[in-house]
Structure 1
Amino acid sequence: MHRRRRRTALLLSAAIAAAPLITACGNDAHPGAAAVVGGQRITVSQLENRVSEVRAAQRAAVPDDAQYAQAIAKTGTLARDTLHSMVLDRVLHRAAQDAGVTVTRKEIQQMRAGLEQQVGGPEALETAWLQQYGIAPERLEENLHLQLEAQKLAAALGTATDRPDFWNALAEASKKLGIDLNPRYGTWDVQRSSRVDTKTPWVREVTAAGTQQTT
C-alpha cells in the first residue's frame, strides 16, 4: 500500500551531464524513442528536456555547489522516474477520457490558488513541487491538471486514488495504449501501471567525466 500511495503522489505530481548517460549496443525497436504510448513517441530528446528543466530548477534553488550535489545524489534515477511520470500522465489522461472526465482552466487556477495559500505563496508551492515530486516550475500547472484528472476520475468511479478500482482503470487504459518502453529504461507493467527496471546485459550506464556514477 505504501508503494501505491507513492505512485499516487506522483500523479499529484524527468541524460544530462550530472546524471548517468545511458548508451546501448544493438538496434532499438523505435530509434530515438524513450517510449511509444498509443502509437505516439516520447522521444529521448523530450525526456532529456524534461530532466534538464528539473536540473535547472534545482540549480537555481540551491546555488551552493555542495547542496546541489546532494540534490543530484537524491535524484539519481531522475530520467527513469520522469519517463515513468510522462507515460503515466498519458495513461491517466486516456482513463479520464474513457470515463468522460474533463478539467477546466478555472478548476486548475482554483486548485493552484488554494495550494499557494496553504504553503505560503507561489514560490513556496513551486519549491514544494520541485522537492517532493521532481516537477519543474514551468510544469506545475500541467501537473495540477493531472492531479485534478486523477481526483475526478476516482470520483467518477466511486472510489479513491489509492484503491484497486482506480488502478484497474489505469491498467485498462495501459492495455488500450499498448505501451512500449525503450529497453534501456525498463518495461511497462500494465497491471500496476508502472515502469519496471529490467536487466539487459547489452545496456551499460556511463557517468559523465568527473561525476560519480548513480543508478
Structure 2
Amino acid sequence: MHRRTALSVSAALLVAAPLLTACAGEARPGTAAVVGGERIATSALQAQVKDVRAAQDRSPQAAQLIGASAGLERAKLNSMIQSLVLRKAAADAGLTVSTKEIEDARKADVQRTGGEKQFQEMVLQQASIAPGQIDDAIRDRLIVSKLTDKYGQDRIIEPIAAAAKALGVEVNPRYGSWDAAKIQLTGGKTPWILQKTTPQTAPQGA
C-alpha cells in the first residue's frame, strides 16, 4: 500500500501581495492571476481543470474522484502559481531540470507503480493530475529535490520565499487571496504539490 509524505512549506513574507484589481477596483477580465508580470489566463486555468475532469470521467471511480476534488479550480491555480515560483527559485539558485531528468524520474515512477496506466491512475486519484500534466508536476518535484540538496531541508523555504516575494503574486479575488506566510492561495485546501517519491511513497501531488 502506498504512503504519501508531503513537504510542508511555510514562510513569513514582509508584505502580503495585493489583490488583482484594475483601476476601477474590478478584477481584470479573463485573468486568474499575475505572477512576476506573467499573466495566468482564466482560459488556461479552465483548460487544466477540463483536462482533469475528462480524465476523471474516463475512470471507473469517476463519481468518487470528482466528488473528492470539488475545489479543483482553486487547487489548479494554486499549482500554476507555485510552479512559476519554483522556476524562479531554481533560476536564482542556478539550478536546471533537463528533459532527460524528467523522463528518467517518470520511468522510475512507472516501474514502481507497475506500469504507465497504473501510474496515471494513481496520480489522477491522489493528486488530481491529468496525464498531460504529469511531466510538469515531476519537474516541480525535481526542482524541490535540487533546492533541498543545495540548501538543506531546514532552509529550503528561504529561496522559495525570496522567489515568491521577488515575483509578486496578484490573484483575482474570485479564487481567494494569496497567503504570503504560507505561499499559497487561501480559501480552500490547496496544499503544496511538493512531495518526494520513494519506492514506498506515492508520486507527488500537484
Whose radius of gyration is greater, 1 or 2? Answer: 1
Measure, in 1, the Cα distance between the counterparts of 2:148 and 2:29: 36
2:23 is the alignment partner of 1:33: no
Runs of 5+ consecutive residues of structure 2 not aligned to the other structure: 10-23, 189-206
Question: Which of 113, 116, 119 pairs up with 2:113?
Answer: 119
TM-score of the superposition, structure 1-length normalised? 0.74
* Equivalence map 1:117-156=2 (5 Å): 117-156=111-150
Measure, in 1, the Cα distance between the counterparts of 2:63 and 2:118: 22
Measure, in 1, the Cα distance between the counterparts of 2:27 and 2:83: 23
Matched positions, count: 170
Q: Percent identity?
A: 38
Distance 1:60 1:27, change over 3 A: farther
| Aligned amino acid, residue 158 of structure 2 | N
| Aligned amino acid, residue 156 of structure 2 | F
Measure, in 2, the Cα distance between the counterparts of 1:170 and 1:187: 19
Which one scores higher on RCO, CA 8 angstroms, separation ≥ 6?
Answer: 2
Question: Which of 167, 186, 190 pairs up with 1:196?
Answer: 186
Question: Which of 156, 163, 174 pairs up with 1:166?
Answer: 156
Name the Cα RMSD after superposition.
1.9
Which residue of 1 is the match for residue 97 of structure 2?
103
2:13 is the alignment partner of 1:5: no
Q: Any idea what the Cα deviations from partners look like across 1:161-191, whole Å, max 9, x if unmatched?
A: xx4x212221111111110000011111223
Measure, in 2, the Cα distance between the counterparts of 1:71 and 1:7: 24
2:72 is the alignment partner of 1:78: yes
| 1:7 Cα offset (Å) | 5.4
Runs of 5+ consecutive residues of structure 1 not aligned to the other structure: 9-25, 199-215
TM-score of the superposition, structure 2-length normalised? 0.77
Which residue of 2 is the match for residue 13 of structure 1?
none
Measure, in 2, the Cα distance between the counterparts of 1:96 and 1:116: 26
| 1:51 Cα offset (Å) | 0.3
Q: Which has the higher helix share?
A: 1
Q: Any idea what the Cα deviations from partners look like across 1:10-50, whole Å, max 9, x if unmatched?
A: xxxxxxxxxxxxxxxx9534221010001111111111100
Which residue of 2 is the match for residue 49 of structure 1?
47
Measure, in 2, the Cα distance between the counterparts of 1:7 and 1:71: 24
| 1:105 Cα offset (Å) | 1.3
The 8 Å contact of residues 49 and 72 in structure 2, kept in 1 or not, is answered as: yes
Q: Any idea what the Cα deviations from partners look like across 1:129-156, whole Å, max 9, x if unmatched?
A: 1111111001111211111111111111
Measure, in 1, the Cα distance between the counterparts of 2:80 and 2:156: 18
The 8 Å contact of residues 27 and 173 in structure 2, kept in 1 or not, is answered as: no
Measure, in 2, the Cα distance between the counterparts of 1:6 and 1:52: 27
Moved over 4 A (4+): none
The 8 Å contact of residues 28 and 182 in structure 1, kept in 2 or not, is answered as: no
